[in-house]
Amino acid sequence: MFSENVAGKVVLITGASSGIGEHLAYEYGKRGARLALVARRENRLKEVASKAKSFGSPEVITIPADVSCVQDCKRFVDLTVNHFGQLDHLVNNAGIVPLSLFEDTTDITNFAPAMDINFWGSAYGTYFSIPHLRKSKGKIIAIASSAGWLPAPRMMFYNASKAAVISLYESLRTELGKDIGITIVTPGLIESEMTQGKFLSKEGQMVLDQEMRDVQVTVVPIRSVTEAAKEIVNSACRGDSYLTEPAWIRTTFYWKVFCPEVLEFLNRWLLLSGSSERETISKKLINLPGLKKYVYPESVRNPKFKPN
């Protein structure tokens, strides 16, 4: 199967200061791509840019921006094209995870950023990039999530935003035809700040809560972000329509289609059953002696959080 050579091509990545976005920058850098890295944390972007250059990227620019702001999205696309003269791959990766039971939410508007960042942040950047991607016969890589079809409690706003992302790019693929390739990525649990316990709380604040991480993630193995990034870039370069990473997560989609009641029961039993919200069956399982060592990577067991 033909695989695109991205050496010298221009790749714009949002949410590039950590997690999947950071490691996609390194993977594209190893392949000789020129990079435009976008995120809100300027200091972190500079660190990622330096490392991406050390991996082989010939040129990297950093653009501090907020993807939930439409003007920022137009600005980072314009700056990228004005600097490099072209745009070949757009990677829409920026995202946050709200975590709260629906009825425990004190102000439902606190979770509006989930759609603003996860969905609209992706749509805005795509809108301004399409004319340039059409010229280059380029590609869009949409980082959605398997949460788009999984009924996990406490994550309904995240799940809804990712379902919207999947639907957006499936519809857009129909509109664009062969002019622009679109790869929709639906990761499971990947090594990142999210799986380290960084969430948007019901009070509307980003918090670190590893105890609730254990409740929500439970015994599901967390995939290495380095390996995930490699598979994502491979998939994009092949021109795949979809990628689920790790591959076994795709089986949950078929559970959703053929026996949704079973999937709902398992989620309710694992994530909601227990003496309190923080003493669920899911947490008791992950706290079994020695189990975290086998399902959590070192960076998740002993995280070193990057400053905001």
Whether residue 259 is predicted with pLDDT greater than 60 in this model: the reply is yes
| Third-level CATH fold of 10-301 | Rossmann fold (3.40.50)
Question: Are 117 and 135 contacting, i.e. CB atoms less than 8 angstroms apart?
Answer: no
Contacts of 95 (CB under 8 A, 6+ apart): 15, 117, 118, 121, 143, 145, 161
The token pair at 131 is 């004319």
pLDDT band at 2 (very low <50, low <70, confident <90, very high): confident
Q: Which residues form the catalytic set?
A: 158
> Alpha carbon 123 to chain centroid distance?
14
Domains of the chain: which residue ranges? Answer: 10-301
**Mean pLDDT, to the nearest integer, of 66-85?**
99
Q: pLDDT digit string (tens) for 131-182? A: 999 999 999 999 999 999 998 999 999 999 999 999 999 999 999 999 999 9
Helices (H), the chain: 19-30, 42-55, 70-84, 112-113, 121-136, 156-176, 193-196, 210-217, 225-238, 250-258, 260-272, 281-286, 291-295, 298-301
Whether residue 307 is predicted with pLDDT greater than 60 in this model: the reply is no
Q: What is the DSSP string of 130-185?
A: HHHHHHHT-EEEEE--GGGT---TT-HHHHHHHHHHHHHHHHHHHHHTTSSEEEEE
